[in-house]
Structure 1
Amino acid sequence: MRLILALCVVSCAVPARAADPAPKPTAAQLEFFETKVRPVLADHCYSCHGTKKQSAGLRLDTSAGIKTGADDGPVIVPGDPAKSRLIKSVRRENEQAMPPKAPLPADAVAVLVEWVKAGAPVPADIAKEPTADPKKHWAFQPVKEPAVPTIANPKSPIVNPIDAFVTAKLTEKGLALAPRADKRTLIRRAYFDLIGLPPTAEEVEAFVKDEAPNAWEKLIDKLLASPAYGERWGRYWLDIARYADSKGYVLTQERSFAFSYTYRDYVIRSFNEDKPYDRFVTEQIAADLLPLGDDNRALAAMGFLTLGRRFLNNQEDIIDDRIDVVTRGFMGLTVTCARCHDHKYDPIPTKDYYSLYGVFASTNEPAEPPLIGETKRTAEVIAYEQELEKREADFKAEIAKRHTATLKKLREPAAIAEYLRAVLDMRGKSNMEVQGALRQRDLLRQVFDRWRTFLEAEWKAKSPVYAPLLQLVAVPEKDFEAKALGVLPKDANALVLKALTDAKPKTLKAAVEAFAKVVGAPLPPGELTKEQAEVFKVWNAGGPLDIPLADADKLQNRLDRDALAAIRKKIDAFKAGNPHAPPRAHVLKENPQPTQPVVFLRGNPGNRGPQVPRQAPEIVTGVNRKPFTQGSGRLELAKTIASPENPLTARVMVNRVWLGHFGQGLVRTPSDFGVRSDPPVQPELLDWLASGFTKDSWSVKRLHKRIMLSSTYQQSSAVSGDLYKLDPENRLLSHQNRRRLDFEGLRDSLVAASGRLDLAQGGKPIDLFKAPFSTRRTVYGLIDRTNMPGTFRAFDFASPDTHSPQRFQTTVPQQALFLLNSPFVQEQAKSLATRKEIADAKTPQEKVKALYRVALSRNPTTEEVALALEFVTGDDAKSAFGSWPQLAQVLLLSNEFAFVD
């Protein structure tokens, strides 16, 4: 127990220090400001507090102005909305209610409150130079293979061009690469970098003893060929794709994606097969438009687009999310900043945003995702299909039942009279007025439109049945009783004349009701007379009372929709939860007619601006771009993104792979290569790698190997104090970075140490935090947007709500407490302590040695053996968690276990 207490003290102690200055805003905070806060300020505040006018000395269109405040002091207290005058003003809680004429919309107020609560982060103002052209930014220039530097008398071994580029920069500073790490360090680094699992002691010893010149290369090839490689690097991509197994909050719908796992399995398979990256990109945008042949499993790739949040099914937000994941994920472009206004920094006008919007607005998600791969017709699969067929049939029967009941009501004279009066009253009214009136009268728009279309056609044809209605409308209400029957034409339909004559209506309402009784009467048996055929046109195909079952959803009221949604939710839950459901792909398909996009002024769909063509952003294709002509344009967009001529795609992916091997990218903002991004620490090296990547058939595995064979990658992570002062952020790559395992690497290593790791691949997601605890790899864990486990959050798991370019790293008490107290970790410690090779040890010394070899892949030192033996002396074998499991847990919690040098 003393070792565990000591470890807890080391893990949780935080040295006291002076208050830090205001932290630099994160990329996510700046994105929130540009996409949410600035549009609110632009729409409601700039007219009085902008470039031309600064009422009360307050300017809100610059970061300096926001921080300075008004003539009488700051208007924002970062982190405290309640004390911020700006928030009080927009809430209208003080004398300076703003905006002065009309209150700010509630959602806009909420955005400002959230921003202030987060510390009111703003981007630094930049001086605008008249000659500065953002189109000349380095990332927008074509990729050209640079010459490899020649280093005279290098202080470090130059194995490949990567080392030459790095050494050239180091030499300028009088530095050199750090010495090569020892072989034990290198094999552990390679294992975690490529497969996310630790090597065994036997594998470490075999590598250390292998003196062959190509021993390191053989190790890399072995790991790249491992199925575990795709699981490790597939997980990185799932962060970029904001992958989750649920939709988030979607009101009455089933929240789970029934077949999300097929996208995850597609990604893992693609990395293992070393699918060319350009093909990988294309499939994720437009696999349905590619000739896939007999193997249609690539359709699952479109989960990249379809597995995002559902934003309460708001289509504008769903499409915005798809634009964001495509442009940031593949090209490092923050295009969604142009949703409400031209991008403030990058050359991306609002028109380019809506050109892409039109691409995705021209698609839809099929109600039934397509089957993929081969399905074995087992008894369980057949039983599943039969049960699903029964449930679907019951659902359709319920729709038909409700449709019939609705039609019965709509065919009653009282309902017919309501719609006839509505059509008469709404002549010449605007669409907005019609919509408001129908809402007040509780009438269905679909039924109203059918009646209006029908009546207008009949009036135009001077129908003897329906034309009299227009004559009745023209009679003044005060004279109606006396004059109504006199205005009816002599050639009016006999049935209508008789009904109105018998009713002797005193008001137009009464006349319409009498008319409705004729029209709504049951169809008489036998052949209809001429007069009857004229009256009962309403029952003909396409008539207002002949509403097909296909339009049932347009007739449903809230009760109908809620009841049907509850049934549909149960069916979807059955498909999502049944282990025998054949795999399907969440795809998009083309609309029959593509959407002609328009600019939404200020991002408001109700404020429509000029039309724009569906096309790629100009900064990617150049001024000579052509509008897309093939359906939605998705395939043309995919080919544009995956083109070797695109200056961004290869650079962005190369940078992501470098990030995975060094903990930091050559560009430190991996999903933002725009004007505001961090410049690359090695621009020539980035272009050399990007050029080689495309020439190498876009092979990610060869890129890994090229990086890992370099002396730069194989450096030691040890760094002297003097070197740290010269290169504190290791921007010069003067040593390797020591890195802590991410949650997947840590959890998988714990389960591997227990000896129970299940290496089965693929399949439906499993709950990692529910006992009995799964022993599958973490990549197969369930990711629920609505209810993200606290353990994920504590260990900096990527948020699935939006595209995540890289993981943040924090050190918080919850991490140490989980590792100390979680039943899952204790279960792994117990399993480790009782593994066969440990249990079979004949002496305590041999048991300690076996424990160290399994947990840390090495033999213990003499001092470590002595300390361990002292700790386990007097162990109670009957204890639920005795000294040996505690010793195992100490090793599993050690820095040596959790960090990679």
Structure 2
Amino acid sequence: MTPRFLFLATILVVSTSFAVAADKLPPPADRKIDFAKDVRPLLEKHCWGCHGAKKQESGLRLDSRDALLRGGDIGQVIAAGDSERSRLIVLVSGTDSQTVMPPDGPQLKPHEVGILRAWVDQGCVWPADESPKTDAKNTHWSYQPIRRVAVPNVKKSDWLRNSIDPFVLAELEKRGIAPSPEADRFTLIRRLNLDLLGLAPTLEEVDAFVKDSRPNAYEELVDRLLKSPHFGERWGRHWLDMARYADSDGYEKDNPRPDAYRWRDWVIEAINSDLPFDQFTIEQIAGDLLPNATAMQKLATAFHRQTLTNTEGGTDKEQWRVEACFDRTETTGAVWLGLTVGCARCHTHKYDAISQREYYQLFAAYNNGDEETAVVPKSPEEVAAYTTAKQKFDAEVADVTAKLRAEQAKLGEAFAAWETKAQTALAESAAQPLKLHALDDLKVESDGNVTFVAQKDGSFLASGANPNSVTYTITGKTKVTGVTALRLDVLPDNSLPAKGPGRVAHGNFVLSEMTVEVSPNADFANARKLEFAGAKADFEQADKPWRAADVIDGNEGTGWAIAPQFGKEHWAIFGLKDPLAIEGHVFVRAQLRQLYGQQHSIGRFKLSLQTGIEPSITLPENVQKLLAVKPEQRSAEQSQQLLDYYSSLDAATKTFVQQLDELKKKEPAKPELTVRVVLQRAKDPRKTFVFRRGEFLEPLTEQEVVPAGFSTLPPMRPRDEKAVMSDRLDLARWLVSANNPLTPRVTVNHIWRQLFGRGIVASVNDFGVRGEKPSHPELLDWLAASFRDGNKSSQPWSRKALIKLIVTSATYRQVSRHRDELLEVDPQNVLLGRQNRLRVEAEIVRDLSLDVAGLLSKKIGGPSVFPALPPGITDLSYAGNFKWTNSTGEDRNRRGMYTFFKRTAPHPNLTTFDCPDANLTCVERRASNTPLQALITLNNETFLEASQAFAKRLLSHSSKDDAARLTHAFRLCVARVPSDRELHQLTGLLTANRDFYRAHQDDSKKLAGAIEVSGASPDETAAWIATARIVLNLDEFITRE
């Protein structure tokens, strides 16, 4: 068994053997222990070989006091001040029956164990100068403070354009290499457009720049491109890679996230506005924790909502919550620190100075962030349109309100009279409040064999026979006196058609007539028919109309009905002409005659007796409450509310009230949507523990951790001195603090890599010990300091200022042409003796073709779109749960970055050209070259449509000359003018295509499709389409020179 596994095995049994072993320990030495003379030799001889600077079995290091007390993968091994509770003492004493440390070599003698025991009991005193020299992990270049280096002196000073160039030229001159000349203006403007916008320049822009001889023409071009709204798209796409952005959850079900795009829009807006990178960082990691955080700052935290979400049945929610926190931790390490932090999830990092405990200190910052829903504004354009519409709406409301107030000022006497009348009516009603009473010994029968089942609420449900016309007879008795009305409730029920309350198929009914009799006897021998004074209902069918009053009009051809409000509860009240005075009790019989036919009968109903006085004025409840307040005690707002209500009744003001009501129905809706973000857990904060081997089910409860940084970097401290621990906001501020050397270096390197194809540190994702060393370390630090601190012409942390500095350098402006003399000295162009040729990214391959064809929509932001997709791709979706409906109109040809990205079935046009899968952070895209790429750009539906539209554009060109048209086509694609040889080849290609399609008319029609150009035959159109297809497949077209 290896020492590592032996040590782990020991810890698994230590909980059971520890107490027994402690009783057998050698006694501690009875004297003051000197670390240098007594302890260090023992540690150096027996421990540091496996637990020192070069090797840390089980993540345990014993060559410094801090490391010793911190412990390893299996927890703490020393309890300072208590040797009996120190695991290490038990293991080296030989008293454990299963394990002895060290596993190889001589064992410690009892008196040596006694020395260690005494040293531990005396507090583990360890002088600072007695630790071994710090190893490479801690002295690694990237952990050191950023140096403010001086710009070097060089010989060829006339080549320099800004402060970047001396650093590059100095390295070239050391090796006797001259820099390459500046690229021509055709190349420069196309290079800048592709690098800054991801779009090719128009020919008008190219020609204007080529002819512009002013010294500042290049800088003005750079400034114009940096101000373009497309800049945010181009550089936002880089950030989306790092954020692992996608429009779906991932995992098996991979459900869509329809509103995820709103965070993508935030990124584009933030980059276009040049939000300083430190604030850009803080808002995305902890925007919700900022004082008075805005909706947009909370939206920014959706950076860490881009984690995958598992919605499969039977999953453990806690497991996947922890997995999301792991991902957030490791993404933070990769994006801001350039470190492979994930290696320390299960054990101390084998190469970098990141212990497992430190991993969980970073993890702890995310452990109390929960995914929540936040309401955020839609796009700035929609917000602007809403603001304009709302201002117009408010003005119209204010105008009508002013007219209403002018008329209200004249209502004094009329309003006072109404108020007095209303209060009197309410007082009368209050003296005799309305009450409902059920009949006793209630029974229901019908003349059509209908069955009635009594319900718990006192209602009856009809079932069984359902004749076309029917009469229900309800009998019962009561001793309630002073009955003023009868109330009939018709109720919905799941057993009825359309839930009722009627029994006809659509749920309606028609109550034609109702008669009510009372009698002192159950046989109704001396019955008296009650007379009704009127009726009302909560709802009445409008088309005839079918009103409640028609139930007591003596006409069997009328009645009460409730279409279209089926499936709802309704009521009708039938007021008696005279209150019913009763002595003792009386019998009551009511007949509900339903004579409309076609089974329009009531399905569920309840008949009640009503006592009390109906108010002579019907008033809303809120108005009744206002009237109950004495005028002198009402607030100004209450008085205005009461006056506004009366104004809806008065003839002089009613029109204005109605106008306001209609206006308010047209109030513009706020352009808002909900987005899932990460917000701080407010209640029951979680504790964070180190997980044994990264297993969330095995927390080492004796190893609780709080948010903190890495020991190799400056400490992370709570911003509030009274705070118990740090949080995500402290983490974010730590990442961009002035004394954190990694974030500026890593960010500068990311940007440099995008503009040169290779970072100053080639291992963009690894600034650790195993990563590459910087090719130009002084330049990296100079750029990092400039980026972090700003200067007279730029604010600190300005992305745009850094990019402008780089692209205006002579280094960036060099030609990319291969040089034989560099092949031996610098085959990878590490020293930057020339620019690099780079294939454009997947999204831009498509964008360029559509743009040249005149098809590309340059609309910015908004929901993701669904361009044409090859058949069968969505069949990969879980249980067919996702349908890809091709977008139409402008959305069909939006820029590639807006294509809906489904993690389990991404668009093949993107993945074939190396778009990342969005499952993990991607700080660097790697380009591949495969035959499949050429097959896509030649034959894919999108690229075929681009070829057709491009050909139509060329055939519509003002010149009918082939050479002019072909030159125009070539320049549209690569900006420069073709050479004579290139034009000759294109002319030959066009001629060959003409010959073929003249001889193959069916193929001509098939290729031309619906493309029609005035004056061009199908075979001529097809010949130009075939030629355009080849021009669009030039290597130079999809290459940034």
Residue identity opposite 2:850 in structure 1: V
Stretch moving more, 836-845 or 305-314: 836-845
The answer for the alignment partner of 2:329 in structure 1 is 323
Residue identity opposite 2:842 in structure 1: F
Offset at 1:46? 14
The answer for the alignment partner of 2:766 in structure 1 is 672
2:686 matches 1:608: no
Stretch moving more, 343-352 or 607-616: 607-616
Secondary structure in 1 matching 2:365? helix
- Alpha-carbon spacing, 1:344–1:597, altered in 2? closer, same or farther (3 Å): same
- Please say if residues 618 and 625 of structure 1, whose CA atoms lie closer than 8 Å, have aligned partners that are also in contact: no
Residue identity opposite 1:319 in structure 2: C
- Alpha-carbon spacing, 1:685–1:797, altered in 2? closer, same or farther (3 Å): same
Secondary structure in 1 matching 2:944? helix
The answer for the alignment partner of 1:500 in structure 2 is none
- Alpha-carbon spacing, 1:211–1:617, altered in 2? closer, same or farther (3 Å): same
Secondary structure in 2 matching 1:880? helix
Give deviations 1:456-478, integer Å, cap 9, x for gaps: xxxxxxxxxxxxxxxxxxxxxxx
Stretch moving more, 164-173 or 623-632: 623-632
The answer for the alignment partner of 1:355 in structure 2 is 361
- Alpha-carbon spacing, 1:735–1:666, altered in 2? closer, same or farther (3 Å): same
Offset at 1:886? 0.8
- Select the residue among 364, 371, 375 that pairs with 2:376: 371
Structure number having the greater helix percentage: 1
Residue identity opposite 2:187 in structure 1: T
Cα distance between partner residues in 1 of 2:949 and 2:229: 25
Secondary structure in 1 matching 2:690? strand
Secondary structure in 2 matching 1:896? coil
Give deviations 1:650-696, integer Å, cap 9, x for gaps: 11110011001000110112122111111111110000000000122
Residue identity opposite 2:333 in structure 1: T
- Alpha-carbon spacing, 1:154–1:864, altered in 2? closer, same or farther (3 Å): closer
Write out aligned runs for 1:370-519 (5 A): 370-372=375-377
Residue identity opposite 1:654 in structure 2: V
Cα distance between partner residues in 1 of 2:327 and 2:274: 28
Offset at 1:719? 2.4
The answer for the alignment partner of 1:180 in structure 2 is 182
- Select the residue among 169, 189, 193 that pairs with 1:167: 169
- Select the residue among 237, 241, 247 that pairs with 1:239: 241
- Select the residue among 121, 142, 147 that pairs with 1:144: 147
The answer for the alignment partner of 1:281 in structure 2 is 281
Offset at 1:349? 1.2
The answer for the alignment partner of 1:820 in structure 2 is 938
Residue identity opposite 1:346 in structure 2: D
Offset at 1:319? 0.8
2:974 matches 1:848: no
The answer for the alignment partner of 1:698 in structure 2 is 797
Residue identity opposite 1:582 in structure 2: E
Q: Percent identity?
A: 35
2:336 matches 1:310: no
Cα distance between partner residues in 1 of 2:864 and 2:806: 33
Write out aligned runs for 1:582-661 (5 A): 582-591=672-681, 592-609=683-700, 610-619=702-711, 621-622=713-714, 625=717, 629=723, 633-661=727-755
- Alpha-carbon spacing, 1:840–1:691, altered in 2? closer, same or farther (3 Å): same
- Select the residue among 815, 830, 853 that pairs with 1:754: 853
- Please say if residues 959 and 965 of structure 2, whose CA atoms lie closer than 8 Å, have aligned partners that are also in contact: yes
Offset at 1:863? 4.1
The answer for the alignment partner of 1:879 in structure 2 is 1005
Offset at 1:806? 0.5
Secondary structure in 2 matching 1:804? coil
Residue identity opposite 2:1027 in structure 1: L
Cα distance between partner residues in 2 of 1:848 and 1:713: 31
Offset at 1:744? 1.7
The answer for the alignment partner of 2:231 in structure 1 is 229
Secondary structure in 1 matching 2:1037? helix
- Alpha-carbon spacing, 1:595–1:708, altered in 2? closer, same or farther (3 Å): same
The answer for the alignment partner of 1:342 in structure 2 is 348
Cα distance between partner residues in 2 of 1:169 and 1:859: 35
Cα distance between partner residues in 1 of 2:959 and 2:219: 36
Cα distance between partner residues in 2 of 1:304 and 1:623: 25
Cα distance between partner residues in 1 of 2:240 and 2:749: 16
Q: Structure 2 length normalisation: TM-score?
A: 0.53
Cα distance between partner residues in 2 of 1:627 and 1:601: 31
Give deviations 1:391-445, integer Å, cap 9, x for gaps: xxxxxxxxxxxxxxxxxxxxxxxxxxxxxxxxxxxxxxxxxxxxxxxxxxxxxxx
Offset at 1:632? 7.0
Cα distance between partner residues in 2 of 1:776 and 1:612: 50
Residue identity opposite 2:189 in structure 1: I
2:786 matches 1:723: no
- Alpha-carbon spacing, 1:739–1:836, altered in 2? closer, same or farther (3 Å): closer
Residues matched between the structures, number: 587
Structure number having the greater strand percentage: 2
- Alpha-carbon spacing, 1:631–1:300, altered in 2? closer, same or farther (3 Å): farther
The answer for the alignment partner of 1:740 in structure 2 is 839
Cα distance between partner residues in 1 of 2:152 and 2:363: 44
Offset at 1:865? 3.9
Unpaired segments ≥5 residues, structure 2 = 13-46, 50-55, 59-131, 312-316, 390-668, 791-795, 870-885, 1008-1021
- Please say if residues 833 and 839 of structure 1, whose CA atoms lie closer than 8 Å, have aligned partners that are also in contact: no
Write out aligned runs for 1:81-96 (5 A): none
Residue identity opposite 1:734 in structure 2: G
Residue identity opposite 2:350 in structure 1: K
Stretch moving more, 650-659 or 611-620: 611-620
- Alpha-carbon spacing, 1:786–1:369, altered in 2? closer, same or farther (3 Å): farther
Write out aligned runs for 1:46-85 (5 A): none
Unpaired segments ≥5 residues, structure 1 = 1-38, 54-59, 63-128, 382-578
Cα distance between partner residues in 2 of 1:179 and 1:780: 38
Give deviations 1:791-827, integer Å, cap 9, x for gaps: 3221111120001110111111110111121121111
Cα distance between partner residues in 2 of 1:371 and 1:703: 31
Tell which structure's C-alpha radius of gyration is larger: 2
Cα RMSD for the two superposed structures: 3.3
- Alpha-carbon spacing, 1:709–1:581, altered in 2? closer, same or farther (3 Å): closer
Residue identity opposite 1:616 in structure 2: A
Offset at 1:322? 0.7
Cα distance between partner residues in 2 of 1:45 and 1:723: 58
Cα distance between partner residues in 1 of 2:160 and 2:977: 34
Offset at 1:40? 11
Secondary structure in 2 matching 1:725? helix
Cα distance between partner residues in 1 of 2:10 and 2:963: 74
- Please say if residues 356 and 690 of structure 2, whose CA atoms lie closer than 8 Å, have aligned partners that are also in contact: yes
Offset at 1:857? 2.4
- Please say if residues 743 and 796 of structure 1, whose CA atoms lie closer than 8 Å, have aligned partners that are also in contact: yes
Offset at 1:343? 1.2
Offset at 1:620? 6.0
2:215 matches 1:213: yes
Residue identity opposite 1:736 in structure 2: Q
- Please say if residues 375 and 672 of structure 2, whose CA atoms lie closer than 8 Å, have aligned partners that are also in contact: no
Write out aligned runs for 1:770-789 (5 A): 770=869, 771=886, 774-789=892-907
- Alpha-carbon spacing, 1:165–1:42, altered in 2? closer, same or farther (3 Å): farther
Secondary structure in 2 matching 1:369? strand
Offset at 1:199? 1.2
Secondary structure in 2 matching 1:711? coil
Cα distance between partner residues in 2 of 1:806 and 1:40: 37
Give deviations 1:716-772, integer Å, cap 9, x for gaps: 111222212110111111111111111122111111101121111111111233356
Give deviations 1:550-580, integer Å, cap 9, x for gaps: xxxxxxxxxxxxxxxxxxxxxxxxxxxxx99
- Alpha-carbon spacing, 1:849–1:40, altered in 2? closer, same or farther (3 Å): farther
